[in-house]
Amino acid sequence: MNWDQIKGNWRQVKGSIKAEWGRLTDDELDEIDGEREKLIGKIQERYGIAREEAERQVNDFKYQ
């Protein structure tokens, strides 16, 4: 599933995102609203990792 599909199905995908990155709050997921760059930024912030690592994790994410 590409990112355009994830964005279009954000409500369904949020559960998988939450399972993958459990430190993200429901409010943050609502704020992200399917925007890839916002997700990367929030992962970077919450997990204290480099942007490149956050991007790699998002790129490797497989929606179940």
**What CATH number is associated with residue 24?**
1.10.1470.10
> What local confidence, expressed as pLDDT, does residue 64 receive?
56
> What local confidence, expressed as pLDDT, does residue 3 receive?
84
User: Number of folded domains in the chain?
Assistant: 1
Q: Tens digit of pLDDT for each residue in 9-64?
A: 999 999 999 999 999 999 999 999 999 999 999 999 999 999 999 999 999 998 75
* Site of tokens 């459990």: 22
Sorting pLDDT into bands at 50, 70 and 90, what band is 2?
A: confident
H helical segments located in the chain: 3-8, 10-20, 26-32, 36-47, 51-60
- Give the pTM: 0.90
**Cα torsion 21, 61, 54, 32: sign:** negative
Give the whole-angstrom CA distance, residue 21 versus residue 64: 14
Range of the domain at 43: 3-60
How many whole angstroms from its chain centre is CA 6?
Answer: 10
